[in-house]
Amino acid sequence: MATIRRVQQQTELKGNESMSSARSIRRRAPFAGTAFAAMVGGLVLAAPLSATAAPSVATFTVAVSDATVQVGETVDVTVSVTGAVDVYAYELALGFDPAVLEYVDGSAQTPVSGVGAATVEGSELQYVHTKLGTSPSATGDLTLATLSFEAIGAGEVTLALDAELVGADAVSLVVTDAASAVVEVLAPPAPAAPPSAAPAAPVTPGGPAGEDADPVSGPGRDILSGTGTDLAAWPFVGAGAALLLGALLVFGVRRKRASQV
């Protein structure tokens, strides 16, 4: 019984240390504070006891699926680390412009085992994640979180990351200005103007559209076309020609007879 009691006292002390480290998360602005401390302080109690050592990482990275999007589109933001050592729990604070981007509720995910939750407070998204029970700390190259944002307004926004990592011994590492990425959101394109109607083909007077004008009869008239006056003159012309022909015949007969006498 005495041994069990000593273990309980050690784990209670461990939980208090975890809560204290979580409260001193950042200098620039507070992280989730109480929520993070409650989650880590309660769950790290069952973590295996080992020599005290702070977690560490080589680099942080904030990557976006598209550097340029239009209003109404979605952009995925991935927070990663390389060379992680003894990461049992962590909290990410991602600053953004809420007039340009809006977090898609419930989109946060990570391949790191354990439980996590995301909340938004003003212009900052906070993501808290922790291992469970006696699970070993995460090491190596890790994807800490992938988050989705919807573009709701035009503008350029910087996604700035601060982070706190907590080791299995509740020792924390706070990193401010850990990494950042820029996303440009473009306004939706203006609606296209309706196509204008094609101009009607010009109509040539006196004939169908596009018909070539006759150089003799005038525009829009063929050789056989004529006015009422022209048609009325044709009988007189024919009669005059007949009389002329008759006169020539008579004149020719008379000349023949005269030559015979």
Confidence of residue 252 (pLDDT cuts 50, 70, 90): low
Domain-embedded: residue 57: yes
Buried b (16+ CB within 10 A) or exposed e, 111-145: ebebebebeeeeebbbbbbbbeeebebbeeebebb
Average pLDDT, the chain: 75
Confidence of residue 14 (pLDDT cuts 50, 70, 90): very low
The answer to pTM > 0.95 is no
203: three-class secondary structure by DSSP: coil
Separation of alpha carbons 137 and 86, rounded Å: 5
Look up residue 258 and give its two tokens: 């005269």
Least confident of 53-67, 175-189, 237-251: 237-251
pLDDT over 70 at 208, yes or no = no
Task: Write out pLDDT tens, residues 54-74.
Answer: 899 999 999 999 999 999 999
Q: According to the model, what pLDDT value does residue 204 have? A: 65
pLDDT over 50 at 21, yes or no = no
pLDDT over 50 at 174, yes or no = yes
pLDDT over 60 at 188, yes or no = yes
Separation of alpha carbons 58 and 21, rounded Å: 21
Q: Which helix (H) or strand (E) holds 3?
A: helix 2-23
Domain-embedded: residue 214: no
Task: Write out pLDDT tens, residues 99-150.
Answer: 999 999 999 999 999 999 999 999 999 999 999 999 999 999 999 999 999 9
pLDDT over 60 at 40, yes or no = no
Q: Is 188 exposed, middle or buried (0-12, 13-18, 19+ CB in 10 A)?
A: exposed
Domain-embedded: residue 134: yes
Q: According to the model, what pLDDT value does residue 189 have? A: 83
Which percentage of the chain shows pLDDT scores above 90?
51
- Residue type at 113? S
pLDDT over 60 at 218, yes or no = no
Separation of alpha carbons 248 and 246, rounded Å: 5
Its sign, for the CA torsion 240, 241, 247, 251, is: positive
Domain-embedded: residue 232: no
CATH number at residue 131: 2.60.40.680
The total number of structural domains that make up the chain: 1
Which percentage of the chain shows pLDDT scores above 70?
56
Closest CA to 55 of 192, 143, 182, 167: 167
Residue 89 lies in domain = 2-186
Give mean pLDDT, residues 242-261: 54
Closest CA to 90 of 64, 63, 124, 55: 55
Separation of alpha carbons 69 and 62, rounded Å: 17
Q: According to the model, what pLDDT value does residue 53 have? A: 73
> CB within 8 A of 245, min separation 6: which ones?
none
Q: According to the model, what pLDDT value does residue 239 have? A: 56
How many Cβ atoms are within 10 Å of 51's Cβ, its own excluded?
6
How many Cβ atoms are within 10 Å of 8's Cβ, its own excluded?
11
Q: According to the model, what pLDDT value does residue 194 have? A: 81
Domain-embedded: residue 238: no
